[in-house]
Amino acid sequence: MCMLKRGDNLKILVVDDEVNIRNVIKEYAKFEGYEVEEAGNGMQAVEICKEKDFDIIIMDVMMPKLDGFSAIKEIRKNKNIPVLMLSARGEEYDKLFGFEIGIDDYVVKPFSPKEVMARVAAITSRVKNNSKTKKEDKYVFEGLEIDMLGRVVIVDGEKKELTPKEYDLLVYLIKNKNIALSREKILNEVWGYDFFGEDRTVDTHVKMLRNSIGKYRDKITTIRGMGYKFEE
């Protein structure tokens, strides 16, 4: 019996101006069973995405003609494709900006190809599971409303534009309201991979989420030395 690889029938767009990096990712991705297409800069990626659909994009940040962040903004105008960013810069500002525009994960160069593929698998698996488990239900607490089916968040009558990851985090916290959740648990359940030591990823998104939900920010409490809890 032939065993299915985790990337079977899934398509990846790899965008990097360094040919060697594209080749390494392509080799590992094809071994995992993914179909791979390449682009050498952000402009090419935007044009390719106008014509084709992908399950995930692996995008470098620093590239000629059009950088990765700008390319993602353009692509997201028409398609909501999950994105894993690559960058030689690991500053918190770069990561925060990436998460603010809605990327799903961020890996700093030099990276382990195996880790990149593990994160790709986690992202695509989470997206697939989310699409299967959508329910026609709604959460309402005073002026905070969440439409689980439409992925819409309303605060005091005003629709809020949350990034995909902010929304996933908010829903996870609410579904586990009044339960203290560790950063490791949140990473595993919301990001879909085991804890890699990047607890700042959770902290950064909680900070963004608190800003997005305004006066209801205090509902997300910090459990010192552990993680967070949504209190109702």
Tally the residues of the chain.
232
CATH 1.10.10.10 residue ranges for the chain: 135-230
> What global pTM score does this model have?
0.64
Interacting residues of 2 by C-beta distance below 8 A, sequence separation 6+ = none
- Evaluate whether 199 touches 223 at the Cβ level (below 8 Å): no
In this structure, whether the domain defined by 135-230 belongs to CATH 1.10.10.10 is answered with: yes
CATH 3.40.50.2300 residue ranges for the chain: 11-131
Secondary structure of residue 179 in the 3-state scheme: coil
Q: Are strands 227-230 and 220-223 parallel, antiparallel or unpaired?
A: antiparallel
Note the CATH architecture for domain 11-131: 3-Layer(aba) Sandwich (3.40)
pLDDT tens-place values along the chain, 232 residues long: 344 455 567 999 999 999 999 999 999 999 999 999 999 999 999 999 999 999 999 999 999 889 999 999 999 888 888 999 998 876 677 777 888 888 888 888 888 999 999 989 888 887 776 655 455 478 888 889 988 777 889 999 999 988 888 898 999 999 898 999 998 888 888 877 554 546 678 898 999 999 999 999 999 999 988 899 999 8
